[in-house]
Structure 1
Amino acid sequence: MALTGVTSRAGWLDKVRRAESLGYDVLQLPDHLGLTAPFPALVAAADVTTMRLGTFVLNTALYRPWVLARDVADTHRLTGGRLELGLGTGYLEHEFAAAGLPFGSGAERLRQLAATLHEVRERLAAEPDRPDPPVLLAGAGRRLLELAGREADIVGFSVQAALTPGVAPEQALADRVAVVREAAGDRFDNLELNLIVGAVGPDPAGLDLTIARAATGLPDDQLFGLPSVLCGSDQAIAERLLRYRDELGITYYGVLEPHMEAFAGVIPHLR
């Protein structure tokens, strides 16, 4: 469950409690300039929830590795070892400009992500208590998914991961899972696979497609074929997700705050 919008401590903690009461297992925060700072919000949430607590995902370019390692270590400790460290390359050029950083190419940002992950892990391993939170890498590009297969504990597939020209969306997603499988080799069976939910609801006419529309640029009539756009009864949606579990190995679904209440009815059918 990815939450945003901290306006006060009391309001934030109420929101966290609500997410847990609906049955969610993981609380996540995105990392964008102008949104809530992830690490302090996760530490505060730890006081009122037993959920796992994660970043989804940090813009790695904004952090020096030694600073990030320090914050990860202490957040992991202060949350009782419940941290999931989600890392990404960053993709909004205006955020790089605001931070005074070059945007660079996708390949350059990916190399920086890989180097930062390596150094953070080295610094954490040098700590007396060796904090070792699971690492989540998420995206849709082949090179990022290959890196995730080799290095991550959790691999996240974005809404765009089901988009390949001329290929049916579910097959496109399956192809990307295959990329991860090949890169991971013998470690694949120990990976947790995550899919972002782009929309959820019982009625096509009332479905909030804002997130899926923004992520893909597709017209609405094409969005309904995406694996991350879930339309139907709670039972029907659950059956579809269980099929993805059986066919693709996806067991972890990331829900964004606008869909928190709508997806909650699906959760009991997945237990």
Structure 2
Amino acid sequence: MRDFRFSFNIFGFESRDALLDRCRLGESAGYDTVFAADHLGAPAPFPLLVAVADATRLRVGTLVLNAPFWNAALLAREIATTDVLTDGRLDIGLGAGHMKWEFDAAGIEWKALGGRVEQLSDMVDGLRTFFTADLDELPEGRALPRPLQRRGFGGSGPPLIIGGTGDRVLRIAAAHADIVGLAGAFQIPGRPPGTFRLATADETAERIRFVRAHAGARAEDIEWHLLVQMVVETDDRRAAANEIADQLGGTMTVDDVLDTPYVLVGTVAEMAAQLRRHRERYGFSYITVHEPYLELFAPVIRQLREQS
């Protein structure tokens, strides 16, 4: 059973000092990694990660890059350069994209899911090629930057995170990812792209069985990543879960809310116990909370570390 690792993501920042102060707070609270997203309206991920790595000892990563936004050659350059500038502390998360409005606003073709999954698969292969290949057309005296790490992409780059819920994305994760992430978000049929419901405990267990079956011999090497969507500290778990179920528009029962790994609800001790159960049942050891929960979740980190 793997030791826990803890991380938070950054949605935005008001200034450089505010960003770095927040990340230093996370470091002092016991977090291991800070993640940047890849959404329009959010900061550009790679400059943010370099700044954070320069000011802290945290690992940094993307959670996740929208593969259809990028060209493989240019993204390989970004990744390799960032891995060097962060002293080999970079994790790379890749996804197929799910917010149609971002594609429309950026003037990028929005393909059906099958097309975006194909773009994700091609990106994984393309990055591996550019991390390993020597390009004859480079001018004399020029060289491609190479990642410092040799853990992901077939031993040629940083650790690779692939997250998703559907069969097609999870097959790619099973074949290539060092870290498989489950955000627990299912598209609601008939609703606009990006309208989600949370997965139940049983749905999560089924998705993990699916990945493990397709990963074959490499299944035991996978690190499992959990993106926690809500953290609610309370002395009355059921009452709080009832309120959350209402907020979720009736897509989950109260018992579903109490059982799903994507919602942590209860006292610090109860939330720590939830995560220990989730690690035992699913394998989740790499835990990410959204940045607004950074301070609220910190005592849970302390309790888990003290009891490990």
Q: Go from structure 1 to structure 2 and tell me whether the alpha carbon gap of 1:15 and 1:223 turns closer, same or farther (over 3 Å shift).
A: same
1:130 offset after TM fit, Å? 5.0
Match of 2:265 among 205, 219, 231: 231
Residue matched to 1:158: 183
Is this contact kept in 1: 2:81–2:147, CA < 8 A? no
Aligned-partner residue type, residue 218 of structure 1: T
Any unmatched runs of 5+ in structure 2?
Answer: 1-7, 134-143, 149-156, 189-198
TM-score with structure 1 length normalisation? Answer: 0.90
Partner of 1:264: 298
Does structure 2 conserve the Cα–Cα contact (< 8 Å) formed by 1:31 and 1:57? yes
Q: How does 1:161-176 map to 2 (within 5 A)?
A: 169-176=200-207
Q: Distance between the aligned counterparts of 1:239 and 1:22, measured in 2?
A: 19
- The 5-angstrom pairing of residues 182-261 of structure 1 reads 182-203=213-234, 218=251, 221=254, 223-261=257-295
- Sequence identity percentage: 39
Partner of residue 139, structure 1: 164
Which residue identity is paired with 1:67?
Answer: L
The answer to whether residue 50 in structure 2 is matched with residue 46 in structure 1 is no
Code of the residue aligned with 2:220 in structure 1: it is D
Q: How does 1:99-118 map to 2 (within 5 A)?
A: 99-118=106-125
For 1:229 and 1:93, the matched residues in 2 are separated by 26
Distance 1:213 1:180, change over 3 A: farther
Alpha-carbon separation, structure 1, partners of 2:27 and 2:232: 20
**Gap change, CA 1:217 and 1:141, over 3 Å in 2:** farther
Equivalent position amino acid for 1:13 in 2: L
Q: Larger relative contact order (C-alpha < 8 A, sep ≥ 6)?
A: 2
> Shift in Å at residue 213 of structure 1?
5.5
Q: Provide Cα deviations, 1:163-211, integer angstroms capped at 9, x if missing partner.
A: 9xxxx9222111111111011111111111011111112225668x88x
User: How much is the aligned-residue C-alpha RMSD, in angstroms?
Assistant: 2.3
Larger radius of gyration: 2
- Mark the CA change 1:66 to 1:260 in structure 2 (over 3 Å): closer, same or farther: same
Does residue 127 of structure 2 align to residue 120 of structure 1?
yes
Deviation at 1:6, TM superposition (A): 2.3
Cα distance between partner residues in 2 of 1:90 and 1:36? 17
Higher helix share: 1
Q: TM-score, normalised by structure 2?
A: 0.79
Query: Is structure 2 residue 94 aligned with structure 1 residue 87?
Result: yes
Tell me by how many angstroms 1:124 deviates. Answer: 1.1
